[in-house]
């Protein structure tokens, strides 16, 4: 009996993915643990392994196929003795730590595959459904093909190596259909644009941010913060950090101050649910990282307990994995509070959309010299603007304001972060 290989759910939020690459072909013998394919999710690229032993009889989803739904049958294998493989679980095993995933409906056992019939002789032939379909499309008499599969079964590779009949060769090629003048009713002429396909990450970003902007009642709180003492403290910290082979950035200090402010005002480190408001015990700070095709938020766990050099090393390692699309689900999910910093691009101030299900996100602008008033005198100081965007279902204005005051205190008096 054929064994189905299905599109696995690689994270709790995954609904579909890209079948990026096959590491096997029809006719290959598999043993448990063999890498069979690479799957791209909205966050990462992961390899999947075979659980069962046997021979690859069909590949049903081609490489680089977008939007493959989870639990879709992507391939089938049969036992070496043609159809007596043991009844093991058909889903591929994932070479990553196990994460909770929604229960999937068991795949239905496919009906027996009917044999192909020669158009000339009426003789029944053993051939895969894919081989029969390719033969019909290429106008090839399948009776003329010698099968290379188990027990002489005709498989895809046999059709790929076969030549079409004279009738098919004489059939003129159908002219290509000209591209439409518009797409989805938009008034843009063909030839005046290029189409960049939506990958899984961009589709997920579009869906989640639309849901957040539509369903979450946001409000922003903005404040200017002097950072002269922070910059001076960073110089001293880096004298010690560089001796240990590291370097602390302003962003590392911002992450630490964010975590400490979450502990100082725990009501802001919260999540809204229908069952109640979750007040998190630790500040797990999700840090926005730009990668090709989108944005991902690796998480610094228990950031309030970690030193600046440890935070720096962790965020560098996570950012490198994010850009290589190698983050594990547990490394980018489960944050309690987000930080997005566009200061390095010269952005003075901005407001972010909340990263659900978190209750707040901090948007950090560029630090720059600005004129300010001190003791009745206009002086120049380094100032940055930050904006806290809050989910009003969880964080009221007074709670958000208290968090901003605590954060500003840690940034303007950085030595208080060491206490």
- Residue 164 shares a structural domain with residue 267: no
Catalytic-role residue among 218, 280, 282, 392 = 392
Mean pLDDT along residues 374-388: 95
Question: CATH no. for residue 13?
Answer: 2.40.50.100
Report the distance separating Cα 212 and Cα 356, nearest Å. 7
Tell me: pLDDT of 39 over 50.
yes
- pLDDT in the model for residue 177: 52
* Domain range enclosing 149: 116-170
Residue 189 lies in a domain: no
Contacts of 82 (CB under 8 A, 6+ apart): 150, 151, 153
Top mean pLDDT of 32-41, 55-64, 351-360 is at 351-360
Q: Is 220 helix (H, G, I), strand (E, B) or coil?
A: strand
- Residue 87 shares a structural domain with residue 122: no
Residue 359 lies in a domain: yes
Structure tokens at 240: 């010690």
Question: CATH no. for residue 271?
Answer: 3.30.559.10
Domain count, the chain: 3
In percent, the amount of the chain with pLDDT more than 70 equals 82
- Residue 236 shares a structural domain with residue 360: yes
Top mean pLDDT of 173-177, 196-200, 218-222 is at 218-222
- pLDDT in the model for residue 31: 86
Question: Taking all residues of the chain, what is their mean pLDDT, rounded to a whole number?
Answer: 83
Mean pLDDT along residues 222-237: 96
- Residue 77 shares a structural domain with residue 155: no
Tens-place pLDDT, residues 104-140:
444 443 444 444 444 444 455 677 767 777 777 777 8
- Residue 33 shares a structural domain with residue 82: yes
- Residue 50 shares a structural domain with residue 140: no
User: Closest Cα to residue 82, out of 119, 49, 130, 128?
Assistant: 128
Tens-place pLDDT, residues 191-210:
888 888 877 778 888 888 99
Residue 99 lies in a domain: no
User: Closest Cα to residue 360, out of 301, 252, 291, 283?
Assistant: 283
392 is a catalytic site residue: yes
- pLDDT in the model for residue 125: 67
Largest CA distance in the chain: 103
């Amino acid at each position: 009996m054929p064994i189905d290989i299905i599109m696995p759910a690689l994270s709790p939020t995954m609904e579909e993915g890209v079948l990026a690459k096959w590491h096997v072909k029809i006719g290959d013998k598999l043993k448990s643990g063999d890498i069979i394919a690479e799957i791209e999710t909205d966050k990462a690229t992961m390899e999947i392994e075979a659980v069962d032993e046997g021979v690859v009889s069909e590949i049903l989803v081609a490489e680089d196929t977008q939007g493959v739904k989870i639990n879709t049958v992507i391939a089938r294998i049969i036992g070496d003795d043609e159809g007596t493989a043991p009844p093991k679980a058909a889903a591929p095993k994932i070479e990553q730590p196990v994460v909770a995933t929604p229960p999937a409906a068991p795949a239905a056992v496919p009906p027996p595959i009917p044999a192909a019939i020669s158009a000339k002789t009426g003789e029944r032939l053993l051939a895969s459904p894919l081989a029969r379909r390719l033969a019909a499309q290429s106008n090839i008499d399948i009776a003329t093909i010698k099968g290379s599969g188990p027990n002489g079964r005709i498989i895809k590779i046999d059709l790929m190596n076969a030549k079409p009949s004279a009738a098919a060769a004489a059939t003129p090629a159908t002219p290509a259909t000209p591209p439409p003048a518009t797409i989805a009713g938009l008034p843009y002429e063909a030839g005046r644009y290029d189409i960049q396909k939506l990958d899984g990450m961009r589709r997920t970003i579009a869906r989640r941010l639309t849901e957040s902007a539509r369903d979450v009642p946001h409000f922003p709180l903005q404040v200017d913060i002097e950072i002269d003492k922070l910059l001076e403290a960073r110089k001293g910290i880096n004298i010690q950090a560089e001796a240990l082979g590291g370097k602390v950035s302003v962003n590392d200090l911002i992450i630490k101050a964010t975590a400490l402010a979450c502990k100082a005002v725990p009501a802001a480190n919260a999540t809204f649910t229908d069952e109640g408001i979750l007040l998190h015990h630790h500040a797990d700070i999700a840090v926005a990282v730009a990668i090709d095709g989108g944005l991902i938020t690796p998480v610094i766990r228990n950031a309030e307990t970690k030193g600046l050099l440890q935070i720096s090393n962790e965020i560098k390692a996570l950012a490198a994995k994010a850009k290589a699309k190698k983050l594990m689900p547990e490394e980018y999910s489960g944050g309690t509070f987000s930080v997005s910093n566009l200061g390095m691009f010269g952005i003075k101030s901005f407001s972010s959309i909340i990263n659900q299900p978190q209750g707040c996100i901090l948007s950090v602008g560029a630090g720059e010299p600005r004129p300010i008033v001190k003791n009745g005198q206009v002086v120049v100081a380094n100032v940055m603007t930050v904006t806290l965007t809050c989910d009003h279902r969880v964080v009221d204005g007074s709670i958000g304001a208290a968090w901003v005051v605590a954060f500003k205190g840690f940034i303007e008096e950085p030595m208080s972060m060491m206490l």
